[in-house]
Structure 1
Amino acid sequence: MIQQLRIYEIYEHNKAAFHARFRDHAARIMRTKYDFKFVAMWETTFGGRTEFVYVLEWPDEATKIAAWSALMADAEWTEIKRVTHAEHGLMVGTIEDRLLMPVDYSPVQGRSLVPGG
């Protein structure tokens, strides 16, 4: 198992709209169409900016790459982003994406972090 850390800069003025879009649309599409496995999600403030942070779990890097490619090409997701951007403006600033590979002495080495996984 590998984990993926995603950090999105989000904006206070449309934070509620961002969370509604992610909760009601992005996460649904990611889970149901492309088998994204969410470990956890957080909101934090760092360096004077508000961030939405989440961790995904993948069996391997090839699966991660294929799922993200499919999501980025998904017509429903493309349309949702278009509509919400028109209504609320830019909802995400900087995006950080990190692949987390457990070291051989990690307590999570080889096991799933997904609840029930």
Structure 2
Amino acid sequence: MRKYFLLLFLLTAFAIKAQKATQTSPVFQLRIYEIFESNKKEFHERFRDHAMRIMKKYNFKIISIYESKSDKKTEFVYFLEWPNEATMKKAWEDFRKDQEWIDVKKMYTEKYGDVVGNIEDRVLAKLNYSPN
């Protein structure tokens, strides 16, 4: 009977530890913005000089930034890393409510028109066999 309880205790402890590890595992986010050649310079200025600075206030961890161009469109692509999905959702909520960001977006739109078209957002869960 003692062995049964010891085994049950160890299995429970292992399950709790595994659940906590899953909850605190990093979450990665892929963001893809359609941008326009006519005001691409202004989009990059807005993102580089304003969005990234404001995002830092909310602990956005941008890992890398790219541009992808095809015959049909130009895309701005970036990866973020978050400690967990709840933190990611809260940071985005706070960023979108940030008055400075609201003012910057409004000013750029009034001056240059829409600098972003379609936005794709993907949350990525890293698989256990993924290379580091």
How large is the RMSD of aligned CA atoms in angstroms?
0.8
Distance 1:47 1:36 in 2: 32
Work out the number of aligned pairs and report it.
107
Higher relative contact order (CA 8 A, sep 6+): 1
SS at structure 2 position matched to 1:93? coil
User: Which residue of 104, 109, 116 corresponds with 1:92?
Assistant: 116
TM-score w.r.t. length of structure 1? 0.89
Q: Partner amino acid for 1:13?
A: S
- More strand by percentage: 1
TM-score w.r.t. length of structure 2? 0.79
User: Residue 96 of structure 2 corresponds to which residue in structure 1?
Assistant: 72
SS at structure 1 position matched to 2:45? helix
User: Which residue of 81, 88, 91 corresponds with 1:57?
Assistant: 81
Q: Partner amino acid for 1:67?
A: A
Q: Offset of 1:46 from its aligned partner?
A: 3.6
Where in structure 2 are the equivalents of 1:1-117 lying within 5 Å? 1-31=26-56, 33-46=57-70, 48-108=72-132
Q: Offset of 1:104 from its aligned partner?
A: 1.3
> Percent of aligned positions with the same letter in both sequences?
51
- More helix by percentage: 2
Q: Partner amino acid for 2:99?
A: A
- Consecutive unaligned residues of structure 1, counting only runs of 5 or more, are 109-117
Larger Rg: 2
- Consecutive unaligned residues of structure 2, counting only runs of 5 or more, are 1-25
Divergent runs of 4+, >6 A: none
Distance 2:118 2:71 in 1: 13
